[in-house]
Amino acid sequence: MDDLDQLEAQSIFVLREAHRKLKPLSLLWSLGKDSNVMVWLARKAFMGRVPFPVMHVDTGKKFPEMYAFREEYAKKWDLDLILGDCPPVEEIDPSLPPAARSAARKTAGLAKLIDERKLRGVIAGIRRDEQATRAKERVFSPRGAGHRWDVRNQPPEFWDQYATPYEDGMHIRVHPLLSWREIDIWRYIERENIPLVDLYFAKDGKRYRSLGDQDITSPVESNASTVAEVIAELENSKTSERAGRAMDHESEDAFERLRVAGYL
Amino acid sequence: MGDTIVNQTLEQAYRAAATPIVIVGHVDHGKSTLIGRLLYDTDSLQDGKLAQIVESSRKRGLAVEWSFLLDSLQIERDQGVTVDSTRIPFRLGSREFVIVDAPGHRQFLRNMITGAADAEAAVLVVDAKEGAQEQTRRHALLLRLIGIRHVIVLLNKADMLGFDEAQIAQAESDVRQLLGRLEITVEAVVPASARDGDNIASRSERSAWYKGPTLVEALSNVQPPAPRLALPFRMPVQDVYRFDGVRYVAGRIERGTVRQGDKLAIGVQGQVATVAEVCRWHAPEHPVAGAGESIALRLEPDLVPDRGDLLFPAGQSENAPIKSARLRTRLFWLRGEPLRVGESFTLRLATAEHDVTVASIDAVVDLDDLSMGPGDIVQPDGFAEVTLAASHALLFDAFTPGLGDGRGVLVDRFQRIVGGAPLIGEAELDEGVLAIHPTGSRVSAEAQQRARGHRNGVFWLTGLPGSGKSTVARAAELALTEQGVQATVLDGDTLRAGLCSDLGFSPEDRRENIRRAAHVAKILAESGQVVVVALVSPLREDREQARRIIGEGFHEVFVDTPLETCETRDPKGLYAAARSGKIAEFTGVSAPYEAPLEPELRLAADLSEEEASGSLTGYVLRAVQP
């Protein structure tokens, strides 16, 4: 087995654990590269079908290309797609910096879906290498009442044994991609030929490395217009993946505050 | 590739997975600084990261603080501690590593385990001047328990000793001795300064005498794990799916290989099925799968295994897992309250879940000197060896470092992981002991003491018939009760009227009488009471048995009234009956009485009844006062 085989096998193991242990369960599909890989891995785990609903929490501010992609692949992959909306920005904590405040809309939309469907498990495609607070995550990450993440009191987790504590109002975030790195994602996309939104590929010297809402994501300088070129570019890059995400740079702890409150 | 998936040349052509390295050690011995330095020295930092660290350090009035690279949470920067483990990828030449930063504070042990449990190698950071500290010992022990095979010691802050060869040799010898006692093989001991970069990525001029590897060289020497493909096949069933009329038995292969046509035994029942197909989705068809792969099997006949059932080669007894309902295990205990015998848990072994009870705590590790000794409880963050009893036999392979086998965890009824249990093997059942599963009280000794206002204890009165044991015991019971002590008396005639009415006065029956009395006294004492036992209990050996059963809190009281006095008193007319031959084997007349040699309390013959009970009452009060 090479490193991608190992990552794949581990993610399949995690997805199968989640499916067995957490019901009702749902998978978050943001339409980005990571969550496409995640849907793909779920199909691998369950012999070509995704046996739980796939949720898209829609801010209404995604790129048109993303909406088109969603319609096409929800059908093609036979997904049980659930759409969730987000409250207007006026309803969000005004003490947050502007971009973080905008991003927090998604947290509120997600919280609404989780509560409505009484979900016990939510599969999310975060990776440790994306951002420092994500590096602190568990594979099965319990969220207390109000969906809060207690960073300082996380359960022990080792030898592929995942705690599933439960009280009313709690749910578990499941992170099958936690050990993957950005370059692993791209190499796997190449190997498996997983479809992606075109925005990831360079046009006029720019491409999106990470896709958020239109108003808070900017493209990076790049000439990589194919998966192979993206991989080559990443192998020589030392710029952080989320450099184009405004909220990561607003204040030292903005992202941590968002995540404690339930943001991905 | 042919029939086998073990193909070294091809495997080498693949990219190897990153080797996880855990960095452990006592708080403030320099773990985070070391990691920051390693990333900087190996050019593994992202753009802007260095500037960010310099800025964060400047804001707080510090010189460049390498540890800020990892201590990324606000709380960590403000309080200067690492709260949780972090993973950082890093590359040495063509080799990928993942550094796991493990926090050193004692209360964060579970986070350290979370980070370290799957590491291939460990760097144990020890302050060269301070030497091994409590967390050094704790982490070293943990490395052994979780089976990390390669340990590199970094003698950090060697600049504080001026890289003095003799002092560093002394520090090295101390650490080697510690790790030697734990049977941990040390790959290298590197004198270094993480802050200044000596002997981390480049050789230090300040330690010209040192001929060993730098830390980076030592890490490069760590060999990746041997493939598990050559071992007998094991696949714990993770789940069983039925899609479009086809049943798929899903799981991850822990060891060995499986191929279409193999005959497999399923779980404890051992039903046999043949592998009809090795199933994968969107992957090249291949009739073989090997260790590490998450696959699905179609079985013929179409049996329905349960989650947790172990699949293993059928008809090969030499390759079968161990089957037992009692298991011995090492244990690291992660719950905030101590572990006691009799507590019940779920033992998770791979995907299996078994109800188990802690049948005994066989040895507890003393963290000061790492010795193993007997113990009644395992303290939070403690280490022990225990015996677990299950209601049914279960299948397992003993824990082997580097393999996934026998790595159990204990889960409480809230589905929280409270302990790690690398299994040692089958526990032999002591002769005559049935596989019973006692439950332990959830009321701690401290809580009992708080509720009752005093400690418990068993006060065992021995003496000739008619010596006044029951009289003294009852008087003391009254006096103690009046002082708020919850006291109970177990006397010979009361026991023989009911609980022991089936027993006579043969030496065997007397021994059984004493055994039962001792167990009842123990149960009452464990509920927090003061128990006064009044039994002739003539033989030393039998009283010693009672002492063993009751354990701590047993007090022997000799009611030392001479035979003549007893015979004169003869309150029940028993001596007269014995003398006339109506009672056979009467203690003091026709059966022996062995006086205690060193009783905890002796009530002398010349005491009045009042003085004797007063003496006993005073003794009990002193013994049970909180």
pLDDT at B369: 81
Q: Has residue B7 got a pLDDT over 70?
A: no
Mean pLDDT of B429-435: 53
Distance from B75 to chain A by nearest Cα, in Å? 10
Estimate the crossing angle of helix A227-235 against helix A182-192, to 10 degrees: 150
Q: Which fold has domain B235-319?
A: Elongation Factor Tu (Ef-tu); domain 3 (2.40.30)
Using one digit for the tens of pLDDT, what is the confidence trace for B352-370?
999 999 999 999 998 888 8
Residue A229 lies in a domain: no
**Is the Cα torsion angle B107, B109, B114, B120 positive or negative in sign?**
positive
Q: Has residue B85 got a pLDDT over 70?
A: no
Closest of B557, B543, B542, B546 to residue B623, by C-alpha: B557
Contacts of A9 in chain B (CB under 8 A): 252, 292-294
Q: CB-based burial of residue B375 (10 Å sphere; 0-12 exposed, 13-18 middle, 19+ buried)?
A: middle
Whole-structure pTM over 0.90, yes or no?
no
Question: DSSP label at B439?
Answer: P
Task: Check B348 against A161: CB less than 8 A apart.
Answer: yes
Q: How far apart are CA A184 and CA A188, in angstroms?
A: 6
Computed over its alpha carbons, how large is the radius of gyration of chain B?
A: 33
B11-25, B159-173, B425-439: range with highest mean pLDDT:
B159-173
B441 included as an active-site residue: no
Q: What is the CATH classification number for the domain harbouring A52?
A: 3.40.50.620
Residue A251 lies in a domain: no
Q: What is the mean pLDDT of chain A?
A: 88
pLDDT at A157: 92
A79 vs B118, higher pLDDT: A79
**Residue B584, number of CB atoms within 10 A of its CB:** 12
pLDDT at B112: 76
Mean pLDDT of A127-143: 84
Using one digit for the tens of pLDDT, what is the confidence trace for B144-153?
888 887 899 9
> How far lies A29's CA from each of A100, B229, B573, in Å?
20, 36, 92
Q: Has residue A252 got a pLDDT over 60?
A: no
Residue A98 lies in a domain: yes
Residue A149 lies in a domain: yes
pLDDT at B10: 38
Distance from A85 to chain B by nearest Cα, in Å? 31
Q: CB-based burial of residue A180 (10 Å sphere; 0-12 exposed, 13-18 middle, 19+ buried)?
A: buried
If DSSP states are collapsed to H, E and C, what string results for B459-492? Answer: EEEECCCCCCHHHHHHHHHHHHHHCCCCEEEEEH
The number of C-alpha atoms within 13 Å of B241 and in the hemisphere containing its C-beta is 21
pLDDT at B60: 76
pLDDT at B317: 87
Q: How far apart are CA B568 and CA B564, in angstroms?
A: 6
**Domain limits at A85?**
3-180
pLDDT at B153: 97
Task: pLDDT band for B97, please (50, 70, 90 cuts).
Answer: confident
Q: Has residue B550 got a pLDDT over 50?
A: yes
What token pair was written down for A158? 């080792």
The residue to which tokens 């010898």 are assigned:
B173
Range list of β-strands (E), A217-259: 220-221
pLDDT at A247: 64
Q: Has residue B393 got a pLDDT over 80?
A: yes
Residue A237 lies in a domain: no
Catalytic site residue from B32, B537, B613, B615: B537
Q: Has residue B142 got a pLDDT over 90?
A: no
Task: pLDDT band for B119, please (50, 70, 90 cuts).
Answer: confident
pLDDT at B108: 60
Mean pLDDT of A12-17: 98
The residue to which tokens 């998450």 are assigned:
B294
Q: Do β-strands B121-127 and B19-25 pair in parallel, antiparallel, or remain unpaired?
A: parallel
Estimate the crossing angle of helix A182-192 against helix A33-45, to 10 degrees: 60
Q: Which fold has domain B322-440?
A: Elongation Factor Tu (Ef-tu); domain 3 (2.40.30)
Q: Closest residue of B to A182, CA-based? A: B89
B463 is in an annotated binding site: yes
A144-158, B67-81, B358-372, B421-435: range with highest mean pLDDT:
B358-372
Residue A203 lies in a domain: no
Using one digit for the tens of pLDDT, what is the confidence trace for B576-619?
888 888 887 888 888 889 999 989 999 988 888 889 999 999 99
Task: Check A1 against B292: CB less than 8 A apart.
Answer: yes
Using one digit for the tens of pLDDT, what is the confidence trace for B446-467?
677 888 889 899 999 999 988 8
Q: Which fold has domain B18-220?
A: Rossmann fold (3.40.50)
**Is the Cα torsion angle B240, B246, B251, B256 positive or negative in sign?**
positive
Taking every pair of Cα atoms in chain A, the longest distance, rounded to a whole number of angstroms, is 52
Length of chain A measured in residues: 264
Amino acid making up residue B191: P
The residue to which tokens 């997975």 are assigned:
B17
Task: pLDDT band for B93, please (50, 70, 90 cuts).
Answer: confident
Q: How far apart are CA A59 and CA B58, in angstroms?
A: 39
Q: Give the total number of structural domains in chain A.
A: 1
Contacts of B248 in chain A (CB under 8 A): 47
Task: pLDDT band for B15, please (50, 70, 90 cuts).
Answer: low
Distance from A253 to chain B by nearest Cα, in Å? 6
Q: Has residue B444 got a pLDDT over 70?
A: no
pLDDT at B46: 65
pLDDT at B6: 39
Is the CB of residue A3 less than 8 Å away from at least one CB of chain B?
yes
Give A147's contacts (C-beta < 8 A, 6+ positions apart). A107, A111, A114, A171, A261, A262
Helix, strand, or coil here: B186? strand
Q: Do β-strands B530-534 and B457-462 pair in parallel, antiparallel, or remain unpaired?
A: parallel
Is the CB of residue A7 less than 8 Å away from at least one CB of chain B?
yes
**Residue B609, number of CB atoms within 10 A of its CB:** 12
Contacts of B411 in chain A (CB under 8 A): 161, 163
pLDDT at A63: 87
Among 1.10.645.10, 2.30.110.10, 1.10.8.620, 3.40.50.300, name the CATH number for the domain at B446-624.
Answer: 3.40.50.300
Q: Has residue B139 got a pLDDT over 50?
A: yes
Asked if A256 contacts B74 with a C-beta cutoff of 8 angstroms, the reply is yes
Is the CB of residue A85 less than 8 Å away from at least one CB of chain B?
no
Nearest-by-Cβ selection for B17 from A3, A44, A240: A3
A243-252, B37-46, B345-354, B443-452: range with highest mean pLDDT:
B345-354
B227-236, B251-260, B392-401: range with highest mean pLDDT:
B251-260
Task: pLDDT band for A240, please (50, 70, 90 cuts).
Answer: low
| Segment B497-506 long-range contacts (CB within 8 Å, at least 24 positions apart) | B505/B584, B505/B585, B505/B586, B505/B591, B506/B585
Task: Check A161 against B86: CB less than 8 A apart.
Answer: no
Task: pLDDT band for B75, please (50, 70, 90 cuts).
Answer: very low
Q: How far apart are CA B420 and CA B411, in angstroms?
A: 9
pLDDT at B199: 96
Contacts of B14 in chain A (CB under 8 A): 1-3, 5
Percent of chain B with pLDDT over 90: 49
pLDDT at B73: 44
Task: Check A152 against B83: CB less than 8 A apart.
Answer: yes
Percent of chain A with pLDDT over 90: 58
Domain limits, CATH 2.40.30.10, in chain B: 235-319, 322-440
Is the CB of residue A229 less than 8 Å away from at least one CB of chain B?
no
Q: What is the mean pLDDT of chain B?
A: 86
Contacts of A158 in chain B (CB under 8 A): 113-114, 117-118, 146, 409, 417, 420
B106 vs A137, higher pLDDT: A137
Asked if A213 contacts A66 with a C-beta cutoff of 8 angstroms, the reply is no
Nearest-by-Cβ selection for B292 from A6, A135, A253: A6
